[in-house]
A = this chain, B = another copy of it.
């Protein structure tokens, strides 16, 4: 039994969820499949919405809410929530390439990318930064960073984003248990109840 976990590397709420979802699911005997999404790049266009941080009222609230979550989790973020966002596509391509070619460490790679961006404040759109993350995990693969930005990787990311959209995924984090959708880090509590009781 699996939970599908969708995230955007540049979403702080996706990062916060990434720190909690595997342990939460494991308590109920579930595994977690990770999927990187492109919310600002793709999904918001489908929805006809502007970026969250540029939305009056909700933008400032979102910054404050993310800071509050970070404090609660005891995290000293390495970047401000409202700093300019990195392009998440290079990391997304690399992650999906890893899922294809090194599936056993692809989740650890995603965790490394999240950490590099949110804790170390690094620019994850840079191949050098992705190479560093990879070198920590699997030095034998660190020469493959060019392939991870190539056509195959781009196609894998595109397919994954399309498949996620087809399943109704529109935010980060987003969870699916079978067809049951849960949007937002605030849903971890309800998801916990859902997994415990088999739904209602």
Contact = CB atoms under 8 A, between A and B. Distances in A.
A26 B54 CA distance: 36
A170 B58 contact: yes
Count this chain's copies in the assembly. Answer: 2
A46 B50 contact: no
A140 interface: no
- The 10 A-B residue pairs whose C-beta atoms are closest, nearest first, are A186-B186, A57-B170, A47-B56, A189-B189, A71-B200, A58-B170, A47-B55, A47-B57, A61-B181, A46-B56
Given A57-B168, A57-B170, A72-B200, A184 B181 contact: no
A189 B181 CA distance: 19
A65 B186 CA distance: 13
A30 interface: no
A181 B60 CA distance: 11
Nearest to A62: B183
A48 B50 contact: yes
A47 to B, nearest CB: 5
Contacts of A55: 47-49
Nearest to A71: B200
Contact of A183 (B47, B50, B61, B170): B61
